[in-house]
Amino acid sequence: MELTKTHNGQWKPGQSGNPSGRPVGARQSFSGAFLHDLAEVWVEHGKASMLHTAKTSPQTFFAIASKLIPRDVELTIRQHYSAELDPADLEILRAIKSAIPDAGDRQPGEVLQFTLDAIRAHGASKLPVMCQHEV
C-alpha cells in the first residue's frame, strides 16, 4: 500500500506516517527520564520556584496546584465543641436554636437567657445558672 498525504499535508484516513508504531518501551523510558530530571530540578529549585510562580503568576500556580488534587476529593468540615457535648447534646442545642425567633441574629447570652426564661415559664423548679463566658 502506498502512503500518500492529502493536499493539506495530512495523512489520508486509515494511513499513518509511522506504520510500525511507537517502539515498545519508548513511553516508559521517556517518562522515567523525565521524572528523574524533574526530581533533580525540584531538589535544586523546588520551593523557590513555587514561591516565585505563586507571587508572579498566581493563576498559573493555582491552575497547576488544582490539577494535583484528585477529582474525587471529599471534604469534611467539623466544628469542635467542648468535650462534654456529645451528638445528642448538639442535637438538643440545634433544636433550641431553631425554635427561637431570630436566634442567629442574637448573642449567645441572649439565646441562653431566652431559653432559661422559657423553661422557667413552663414550671421547671431548678436550673443551673451559667456565667456568660461559659456559653
Q: pLDDT of 16-69, one tens digit each? A: 667 666 666 666 677 888 888 989 999 999 999 999 999 999 999 999 988 888
Helix/strand/coil (H/E/C) assignment for every residue in the chain: CCCCECCCCCECCCCCCCCCCCCCCHHHHHHHHHHHHHHHHHHHHHHHHHHHHHHHCHHHHHHHHHHHCCCCCCCCCCCCCCCCCCHHHHHHHHHHHHHCCCHHHCCHHHHHHHHHHHHHHCCCCCCCCCCHHHC
List the Cα angle 108/111/114 in 5-degree steps. Answer: 150
Q: pLDDT of 91-110, one tens digit each? A: 888 888 888 888 888 888 88
Treating both helix axes as pointing N-terminal to C-terminal, what angle do 108-121 and 87-99 enclose, rounded to 10 degrees? 90
Distance (Å, rounded) from C-alpha 115 to C-alpha 124?
Answer: 12
Residue 129, pLDDT above cutoff 60: no
Average pLDDT estimate for 60-87: 78
Residue 4, pLDDT above cutoff 50: yes
- Enumerate residues 6+ apart whose C-beta is below 8 A from 16: 3
Give me 110's grid cell. Answer: 441572649
Q: pTM score > 0.85 for this model?
A: no
